[in-house]
Structure 1
């Protein structure tokens, strides 16, 4: 069933969009990520303009993340205090990111730079997560090295000022690292149309030293508010939020998130991390390939426009 998207100015299959929303919802529930790192490139692939995809996907992430968060709240695996600290940085980062996005859009370079950002960030984060996940699986067979590494990873953070106790996570650390992580994620949410979970989740595990089960729910909590704020800014400054597209992705995402949460509970933490790393690398590879083959098409379009 083809429908016309007024803001994106393209016609797409409604069932395809529902399916894509469902896939991203499953990822949201399983990994504690908004799923935008996968959905936004998929929207590029089916012909949605990058500026519209970025702004609209932020809207869909709110719904899928909220659905996943409810399931984690029932299991009491959300550190609300840590989520609040991350949110302070996230809202500031989102506002800064929208300003940067508007500047790039005015220069006419937003489409290319958004895709380049995806290739760089997904490549780096996916590679690091994959290496760490393999190491974690090996360490699971040898418990002793794991304890040494955990103490070492949190050492420099405990030396920072402005400490706060996070009882749900079992931590007593400075609020500076969580605020910085939130700030970076907020900027990415505005520029790339992502929840930022693919950076926040590994940062919370490996830098802040939070337990994986608490990380997933806490990440979703922060993502909801940052992406909602980002959507509002894009809608009022860029007018690039396509509500028809957002509703279809939203419906699929809410259903998928509940399924993903149930799947995630049955898998080990190391298995979840390595699956997420492989997905990030797969999307990165596809985007990089498209950037390499795209210039010939752009040249032919340019030639046609010149006649």
Structure 2
């Protein structure tokens, strides 16, 4: 397997792991009346203030008295959350990738989109994580070493984003767009290639367990565990006789990368934690699940609050809107998979990732022109960006209509399955 293919499998597994976490916490919220009440308490004032044309005080350019806000953007945030939730629930991957590009495509500044997305992840983790079910599998020492790196990384990533924004907001948007272009382009092209191969029945889906399962160790994991660099952290004592050990410096370095990505992209960092633990560190999947749930609250919390919220780079109302939309979308999408199976799901995954890629790459010519790097006619770059936005939302809208129509037409069948 080539290096590019290995990176794709890593990112795809990361996307799947993030989607599984998203579905778990969303289901926890939906099934808990107290959590729904808390969400309603948060939501009702925002709706009231938004449509009373005083919504500028709920999120925007400044932390405590924002300069701008419209109820249209709030409705768009619900749509963004719904679309991401449908993709996550139905495909089981990829939904989080479209949030920042979607917010930017409706006019939200890149740094605000990233900060809001990260805060939305933090809010969902706080409300929906059922830590008590997983605490038995948490490796506290691994989590602490990882958090030392990840929390430090959020300061690095946040400082980079703020530096670009303070230097030039256009440069900030361009920088964030380029990051998404690189990741979504790579992932989308490989996903489409994977879909085409699968449709010809020349390849099969790869599962997370094939990379180590509950107790197996990958080759890179074995090599890293053999590096005796103090302090050495023991883990997996309950699954392997004598347990395993790995250097705390290695774990902290992985956390540093995750923290930087989280602060730079919003959801873009925390989602790689699961495959990093399993594939790179050689940690069992059981220990990884509990430890990941433990660390994501702190990484997302410190990143969203210390790096964005206190500087005014969080749209609180949009975060609640996305949370509301995603909760509904994930439930509908997950139920739809019970009646819609097959290769089409993988095709939609590739298409939605590529749509996000096209959306961000189509915005670059206008950004480069406005900064004076290229000298293209304004009408041309404006039309390129417009076409990229239209194509993106057409793909998302078609997917949403397809999933919702399948859900509605099979409602009776789904209800019958739930009863049984």
Structure 1-normalised TM-score? Answer: 0.71
Q: Which one is further off, 32-41 or 156-165?
A: 32-41
In structure 2, stretches of 5+ residues that fail to align are 1-46, 62-67, 338-344, 372-376, 380-420
| Partner Cα distance (1:155, 1:130) in 2 | 32
Question: Post-superposition shift, 1:225?
Answer: 1.5
Aligned counterpart, 2:98: 38
* Larger-Rg structure: 2
CA contact (8 A) 1:58 1:231 kept: yes
| Partner Cα distance (1:177, 1:260) in 2 | 38
Aligned counterpart, 1:152: 219
In structure 1, stretches of 5+ residues that fail to align are 265-271, 302-307
CA contact (8 A) 2:100 2:117 kept: yes
Question: Which aligned pairs between 1:1-307 and structure 2 lie closer than 5 A?
Answer: 6=56, 7=60, 9-11=68-70, 12=72, 14-25=74-85, 36-67=96-127, 69-70=129-130, 74=133, 79-81=138-140, 82-108=142-168, 109-124=171-186, 137=204, 150-161=217-228, 162-167=232-237, 172-174=244-246, 175-194=248-267, 196-212=269-285, 215=288, 218-235=291-308, 238-254=311-327, 280-292=353-365, 300=378
**1:260-281 C-alpha deviation (Å, 9 max, x unpaired):** 78899xxxxxxx9998777555
Question: Post-superposition shift, 1:17?
Answer: 1.9
| Partner Cα distance (1:76, 1:90) in 2 | 20
Change in CA separation of 1:169 and 1:224 when aligned onto 2, cut-off 3 Å? farther
| Partner Cα distance (1:214, 1:274) in 2 | 32
| Partner Cα distance (1:293, 1:120) in 2 | 18
CA contact (8 A) 1:186 1:196 kept: yes
Which secondary structure state, in structure 1, belongs to the residue aligned with residue 314 of structure 2?
Answer: coil
Change in CA separation of 1:32 and 1:280 when aligned onto 2, cut-off 3 Å? same
Question: Post-superposition shift, 1:125?
Answer: 5.6
Which secondary structure state, in structure 2, belongs to the residue aligned with residue 207 of structure 1?
Answer: helix
**1:263-300 C-alpha deviation (Å, 9 max, x unpaired):** 99xxxxxxx99987775555334322332566578863
| Partner Cα distance (1:193, 1:246) in 2 | 12
| Partner Cα distance (1:173, 1:248) in 2 | 43
| Partner Cα distance (1:158, 1:220) in 2 | 23
Change in CA separation of 1:163 and 1:290 when aligned onto 2, cut-off 3 Å? same
Structure 2-normalised TM-score? Answer: 0.55
Which secondary structure state, in structure 2, belongs to the residue aligned with residue 194 of structure 1?
Answer: coil
Which fold has the larger relative contact order, with Cα–Cα distance below 8 Å and residues 6 or more apart in sequence? 1
Which secondary structure state, in structure 2, belongs to the residue aligned with residue 252 of structure 1?
Answer: helix
| Partner Cα distance (1:119, 1:230) in 2 | 23
Change in CA separation of 1:33 and 1:67 when aligned onto 2, cut-off 3 Å? farther
* Aligned positions, number: 293
Change in CA separation of 1:234 and 1:189 when aligned onto 2, cut-off 3 Å? same
